[in-house]
Amino acid sequence: MIAFLSGRVAGKNPTHALIEVHGVGYQLAMSSTSLAALPPEGDDVTVHTYLYVREDELSLFGFESLAEKKAFELLITVNGVGPKVALATLSTLSPDALAAAVSAEDVATISSVPGIGGKTAQRIILDLKDKLGAGLGRESAAARGGGAATASTDTTDALLGMGFSAAEAAAALKGYEGAANNPQALLRYALQRLGSGR
């Protein structure tokens, strides 16, 4: 499983981004929200990813936050909701807005997403009513607490995914004085500290 990519924005269009990592270009399908959050072409970025594997398909999807990735993973478990419809949902509704709509059993809001009718919206509510609250609780709480908490959480998760211990990750994040809501800058800072300390 490819959990995330750290590299350079090599290009983007209304539905995909191209991220270059050590000379290899990865094409990621992304929601319009995530695409809008990407830095300009040529800048460094870290993108959370999900590798969708089927007999006749191998696709890589990218997300600007772990909350969005979690929402995508939950959406595609619903019968009748594939990756494209899940991305359309996240282009229309933020993870928090989706969770709120599901919690309120708001069929109208969910069925406003292109590709989702009333029956599919009801199925999403039925299947995800319990899962969305628990699945997005930590990420949503971090977002409500401010960008710093989200950036710190995202960076810690990225470092753990690279094989660093929780103690190493915590130590590497200490003393950061840059923009607190910029996970890319925070990750670069942490990696520099870990590199110099090893």
Report pLDDT digits (tens) over 80-91. Answer: 899 999 999 999
* Statement: 66-145 belongs to CATH 1.10.3720.10: no
Please give the pLDDT value at position 141.
42
Inform me whether the pLDDT recorded for 69 exceeds 70. Answer: yes
* 170 pLDDT more than 80: no
DSSP code of residue 178:
S
pLDDT band at 139 (very low <50, low <70, confident <90, very high): very low
Do 30 and 49 meet the contact criterion of CB atoms below 8 Å apart?
A: no
pLDDT of residue 54: 84
CA torsion angle for 60, 140, 183, 1 (degrees, to 10)?
Answer: -30
Q: What is the pLDDT of residue 161?
A: 66
- The model's confidence at residue 179, banded by pLDDT at 50, 70 and 90, is low
With beta carbons less than 8 A apart as the criterion, state whether 50 and 69 touch: yes
- Enter the tokens of residue 137: 């609780």
pLDDT above 90 (res 61): yes
Query: Any long-range contacts for 83-87 (C-beta under 8 Å, 24+ apart)?
Result: 83/29, 83/52, 83/59, 84/29, 84/115, 85/113, 85/115, 85/116, 85/120, 87/29, 87/30, 87/31, 87/61
pLDDT at residue 15 greater than cutoff 90: yes
**Ranges of each domain in the chain:** 4-63, 66-145, 147-197
pLDDT digits (tens, 9 = 90+) for 91-120: 999 898 898 889 889 999 999 999 899 999
What is the Cα Rg of the chain in Å? 17
pLDDT at site 143: 44
Note the CATH number of domain 4-63: 2.40.50.140
| Per-residue model confidence (pLDDT) at position 116 | 93
CA–CA distance, 170 with 149 (Å, rounded to integer): 13
pLDDT band at 18; cut points 50, 70, 90:
very high
**What are the b/e assignments for 41-59, b being 16+ CB within 10 Å?**
eeeebbbbbbebeeeeeee
> Rounded mean pLDDT of 158-183?
71
Question: Is 63 exposed, middle or buried, given 0-12, 13-18 or 19+ CB atoms closer than 10 A?
Answer: buried
Residue-level pLDDT at 22? 94
Is the model's pLDDT at 138 over the cut of 60?
A: no
